[in-house]
Amino acid sequence: MRILLVDDEVELTTPLSRVLQREGYTVDVASDGTQGQQLALAGVYDLLILDWMLPGCSGLDLCQFLRSRGQQTPVLFLTAKDTLDDRVRGLDAGADDYLVKPFELRELLARVRALLRRPARVDSQFSPARLGFLQEKGTQVGDLCLDRENQLAYRGNRVIDLSEKEAQLLAYFLDHPNELLTHEQLQAHLWGSDHQPASNALAAQIRLLRRKIEGPGELPLIHTVYGKGYRFGAIPN
- Summarised one tens digit per residue, pLDDT across range 148-175 is 877 888 887 777 878 888 889 999 999 9
Q: What is the mean pLDDT of the chain?
A: 83
Q: Higher pLDDT residue, 237 or 192? A: 192
CA nearest neighbour of 106 among 8, 16, 7:
16
pLDDT reported for residue 132: 54
How many structural domains compose the chain?
Answer: 2
237 domain residue, yes or no: no
The DSSP symbol for 123 reads G
Q: Distance (Å, rounded) from C-alpha 29 to C-alpha 17?
A: 8
Among the candidates 61, 90, 117, a domain finishes at 117
Strand pairing category for 158-161 and 152-155: antiparallel
CA nearest neighbour of 38 among 57, 13, 18, 23:
57
3-state secondary structure of 117: helix
57 domain residue, yes or no: yes
Are 9 and 109 within one domain? yes
Q: Distance (Å, rounded) from C-alpha 187 to C-alpha 226?
A: 16
pLDDT reported for residue 143: 82
As a whole-number percent, the residues of the chain with pLDDT over 70 amount to 87
Q: Enter the pTM of the model.
A: 0.53
pLDDT reported for residue 124: 38
Are 112 and 185 within one domain? no
pLDDT band at 122 (very low <50, low <70, confident <90, very high): very low
137 domain residue, yes or no: yes
pLDDT reported for residue 194: 77
pLDDT band at 118 (very low <50, low <70, confident <90, very high): low
Strand pairing category for 158-161 and 180-182: unpaired
List the Cα angle 37/43/49 in 5-degree steps: 55
- Amino acid found at 40: A
Q: Distance (Å, rounded) from C-alpha 226 to C-alpha 221?
A: 16
- Give kind and range of the element (H or E) at residue 30: strand 26-30
